[in-house]
């Protein structure tokens, strides 16, 4: 659940409230009791760091697509099986 910041426009009281996304906005100030609370816009209060899934599973690793491309290049560069023994068209012409 996110933590929202509120400020009362009537008395200036500031507070934080832990609410679900679909909870209604708070309006009544707990300090003065009047309906002056307004939700403030603030930055997220967390940062993803450490050895989580991104660090261990994705960061600094080549993508699966790049691996497939390298495999395909190796297949194209290698000579066909039996080459040099007259088994392929390149050897038969030479």
Condensed to tens digits (0 to 9), the pLDDT of residues 11-70 reads 999 999 999 989 999 999 999 999 999 999 877 666 666 666 666 666 666 655 566 666
What is d(CA 33, CA 12) in angstroms, rounded to the nearest whole number? 12
- Is 21 inside any structural domain? yes
pTM for this predicted structure: 0.47
Q: Give Cα 88 distance to the centre of its chain.
A: 50
Residues spanned by the domain of 11: 3-39
Residue 81, φ and ψ in degrees, nearest 5? -65, 135
* Cβ–Cβ under 8 Å, residues 76 and 70: no
Number of domains observed in the structure of the chain: 1
Please indicate, yes or no, if residue 66 is contained in any of the structural domains: no
Q: pLDDT tier at 71 (50, 70, 90 boundaries)? A: low
Q: Are 35 and 44 in contact (CB under 8 A)?
A: no
Nearest C-alpha neighbor of 36 from the set 16, 13, 4, 9: 9
Residue 55 lies in a domain: no
């Amino acid at each position: 659940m996110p933590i929202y910041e509120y400020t009362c426009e009537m008395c200036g009281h500031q507070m934080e409230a832990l609410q679900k996304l679909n909870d209604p906005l708070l309006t009544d100030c707990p300090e003065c009791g009047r309906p002056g609370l307004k939700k403030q816009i603030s930055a997220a209060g967390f940062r993803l760091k450490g050895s989580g899934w991104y660090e261990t599973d994705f960061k600094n690793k080549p993508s699966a697509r790049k691996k497939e491309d390298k495999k395909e290049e190796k297949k194209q560069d290698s000579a066909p099986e039996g080459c040099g023994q007259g088994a392929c068209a390149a050897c038969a012409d030479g």
